[in-house]
Amino acid sequence: MIKEKTLIIGGGQAACQTATSLISKKYDGEIKIFCSENYLPYQRPPLSKKFLMGELDKERLFFKPEKFYTENEISINLNSYVQRIDIENKEIFLENNKKENYDNLVIATGTIPRKIDVDKKISDKVFYLRSIDDVLNIRDKIKESKKVTIIGGGYIGLEVAAIINNLGLQVTIVEMAPRILERVTSETISSFYTKVHRQAGVEVLTNTSVEGLSENNNGIEVITSNGGIISDFVIVGIGVLPCDTLASESGIEVKNGIIVDEFCKTSNDSVFSAGDCTMHPNNFYNKNIRLESVHNAIEQGKTVATSITGEKTAYNQVPWFWSDQYETKLQIVGLLDNYDDIIVRGDTEKQSFAVFYIKDNAIIASDCVNRPAEHMMSRKLISGKVLIDKNRLSDETIPIKEIVN
Amino acid sequence: MVKIIYIEHDGTEHPVDVDIGTSIMEGAVSNSIPGIDADCGGGGACATCMVFIGDEWKDKISSMSDEEESMIDFHEYKEDSSRLGCQIPITEEFDGLKVRMPPSQY
Ligand SMILES: Cc1cc2nc3c(=O)[nH]c(=O)nc-3n(C[C@H](O)[C@H](O)[C@H](O)COP(=O)(O)OP(=O)(O)OC[C@H]3O[C@@H](n4cnc5c(N)ncnc54)[C@H](O)[C@@H]3O)c2cc1C
Ligand code: FES
């Protein structure tokens, strides 16, 4: 009998989870992964944390050792860029006219960093941070440098700033918006992290837009609306774009990401998608969203596996995320979606507090800094849509576990 | 390398060699042992790497931080002997360690 065949495009968190979940569900079809990178599937969060710091070997980033794939008969093809999909004939096309047919196709292509225009002459001084190779290059550059400019004050930019500052370099963050993290969080959290970075010696420039980059005898100059900044090199972290052109060019519907339903199925019945590249429905917030998070990649990977095996378990998740900077661990749950009140529990000065975002007397999101209990409690309260008493929430004499009486 | 025996909730034992310096969580993941999810990859942020470690090992194992304790406190299957596997680095002293795993990490 000919086995059913599932092809997975991409080899990141979502791709690996899809394959792992298929294996644990005893899927008896053939599984083939095609990834354009040259490493076994690996986790990205440490790239801007311990791996950049040099505290982790790259082997420790891999989700699974090579033997996992061989033992489970997963064919893993690295350095294999998929160029085109033919959804009519159910085939994918690789370089050198190679093609593969499928019964089920999973697109887990993730995102790529948004780029800025850079003259060839200085392109060796401009870095992005998405892959193991990016970090290895940045680490080499750090060794010969004293000063770095980071363009973009999002989570990745801030984590990188913290690490490079710890490594002893002078760091400047340039942010176009009036505050760092503006796109993703509240004023309270933005000003907290601005302060943390400034206290550590990082220069944080907001309301500052980049007008160009130019060569300079002493390195590279970032020309901004507030003057020039000279440093040895530049790291750009101004957001990412979903890798969805492969899908759109084949006729699959996309709109700022590959559109999927709650079963991670695309507009084509044999094609599924998971991870950072999807635009998907979220039941808790009643809207379509695109997320860049490990949790989403894992849960959508699991969902795709159930769709392929026929179990069909709908994706139904409150998003969560974390970020490590200096001695602070930030844990985020939920979306800051039209909240009508903010409650702070704890003390921002002591770097130990939780910010709860409230809508109609229920928590819809929280940002917890060094407050894991508040984070875990928020997860329960948000997914249970529990009504809360705001006065109790800010009252630290009441343990967080007893906040709902 | 030390020998660690991971025990699934149904009693299935997995004796494996684990590198010193890695964590109890990584020992399970790199040997494809089911029972530990480790969603955050060792960041101490997810509590999906919870394991149970017998009392007899208590004094050989690094003590638990307040953060770890708080995360475990919310785990569906917590017991007195619960720890987060990613927070425990493996040392020479762990040879023969038995690590039990919960029925699920959620
Ligand atoms: C520096 C950094 C720090 C992060 N920190 C955190 C964090 O603290 N917490 C958190 O929750 N999330 C974090 N994230 C986000 C998280 O890593 C992503 O959400 C996650 O990796 C998404 O997984 P994915 O499988 O969707 O995509 P990816 O991991 O991006 O994998 C996609 C893969 O597909 C390959 N690919 C693309 N197109 C093709 C093609 N045509 N053919 C073949 N292969 C292709 C790519 O090369 C890539 O290997 C971080 C990300 C980065 C970059
Ligand atoms: S792996 Fe996430 S807390 Fe241990």
The side-by-side arrangement of strands in the sheet containing A99-101 is A82-86, A91-94, A99-101
Rounded-to-integer distance, Cα A147 and Cα B37, Å? 39
Distance A219 CA to ligand 1 centre (A): 31
B72 CA to chain A: closest CA distance, Å?
9
Do residues A262 and A140 touch, judged by C-beta distance below 8 A? no
Q: Is residue B88 part of a domain?
A: yes
At residue A307, the pLDDT reads: 98
Assess contact for A342 and A349: CB atoms under 8 A: no
Query: Which band of pLDDT confidence, cut at 50, 70 and 90, is reported for residue A253?
Result: very high
What is the pTM for the complete model shown? 0.97
Cα A159 from Cα A290, distance rounded (Å):
22
CB atoms < 10 A from the CB of A274, how many? 35
CATH number of A5-112+240-309, picked from 3.40.190.10, 3.40.50.80, 3.50.50.60, 3.40.50.2300:
3.50.50.60
- B106 belongs to a structural domain: no
Alpha-carbon torsion A23, A28, A33, A38, what sign?
A: positive
A245-258 average pLDDT score: 98
Confidence at residue A318, expressed as pLDDT on a 0 to 100 scale? 97
Tell me the CATH number at B58.
3.10.20.30
Read off the amino acid at residue B21: G
Q: Where are the domains of chain A?
A: 5-112+240-309, 115-236, 327-402
Interface touch B34/A373, C-beta < 8 Å: no
State the amino acid at position A399 in one-letter form.
P
The CATH classification of domain A327-402, taken from the options 1.10.3720.10, 1.25.10.10, 1.10.1740.10, 3.30.390.30: 3.30.390.30
Q: Which residue has the higher pLDDT, B31 or A161?
A: A161
Count of domains forming chain B: 1
Compute the distance between CA of residue B99 and CA of residue B52 in angstroms, rounded to an integer: 6
Sorted by sequence, the CB contacts under 8 Å of residue A44 that are 6+ apart come out as A12, A13, A130, A294
- Residue range A58-83, pLDDT digits in tens: 999 999 999 999 999 999 999 999 99
Report the pocket of ligand 1 as residue ranges, CB < 6 Å: A 9-15, 34-37, 44-45, 47-48, 81-82, 108-111, 129-130, 156, 243, 246, 275-277, 292-295, 297, 321-323
Q: Is residue A1 scored above 80 in pLDDT?
A: no
Q: How confident is the model at residue A27 (pLDDT cuts 50, 70, 90)?
A: very high
Cα distances (angstroms) measured from residue A238 to each of A136, A154, B72:
20, 7, 35
Measure A178 CA to nearest chain B CA, in Å.
30
Q: Give the full edge-to-edge strand order of the sheet including A287-289.
A: A258-259, A278-282, A287-289
With a cut of 80, say whether residue A110 has pLDDT above it: yes
Q: What is the pLDDT of residues A265-320, one digit of tens each?
A: 999 999 999 999 999 999 999 999 999 999 999 999 999 999 999 999 999 999 99
> For position B69, what pLDDT does the model report?
95
E strands along A38-131, which residues? 74-77, 82-86, 91-94, 99-101, 104-107, 111-113, 126-127
Residue B80, in any domain of the structure? yes
pLDDT, residue B58, reads 82
Q: What is the pLDDT of residue B56?
A: 87
Ligand 1 pocket test: which of A44, A53, A276 has the largest number of ligand atoms within 8 Å of its C-beta?
A44
DSSP string, B56-90: GGGGGSPPPPHHHHHHHHT-TT--TTEEEGGG-B-
Here the ipTM equals 0.93
Classified by CATH at the fold level, domain A115-236 comes out as FAD/NAD(P)-binding domain (3.50.50)
The mean predicted confidence, pLDDT, of chain A is: 97
CB-nearest partner of A329 from B29, B32, B45 = B45
CA distance A51 to A58: 7
Domain that holds residue B55: 2-100
Residues A189-210 have a mean pLDDT of 98
pLDDT score at B55 = 87
Assess A45–B contact: CB distance below 8 Å, yes or no: yes
A222 phi and psi angles, rounded to 5 deg: -95, 115
| Interchain CB contact of A366 with B (< 8 Å) | no
Helix (H) or strand (E) holding A227: strand A227-231
- In a 3-state reduction of DSSP, which class is residue A17? helix
Q: How much is the pLDDT for B32? A: 85
Q: Which amino acid is at A204?
A: V
Q: What is the pLDDT of residue A84?
A: 97
Contact in structure between A333 and A293 (CB atoms under 8 Å): no
User: Which 8-state DSSP code applies to residue A254?
Assistant: B
The predicted-structure confidence for B59-93, as pLDDT tens digits, reads as follows 888 889 999 999 999 999 999 999 999 999 999 99
**Pairwise CA distance, residues A152 & A174, whole Å:** 6
Q: Tell me if B13 is assigned to some domain.
A: yes
- Nearest Cα residue to A32 out of A96, A94, A97, A86: A94
- Strand order of the sheet with strand A219-224? A210-216, A219-224, A227-231
Q: Is residue B105 part of a domain?
A: no
Is A60 in contact with B29 (Cβ distance < 8 A)? Answer: no
Q: Fold match between A5-112+240-309 and A115-236?
A: yes
Predicted pLDDT of residue A285: 94
Residues B30, A298: C-beta atoms closer than 8 Å: no
Taking the C-alpha atoms of residue A395 and residue A384, their distance in angstroms, rounded to an integer, is: 22
In a domain, B26, yes or no: yes
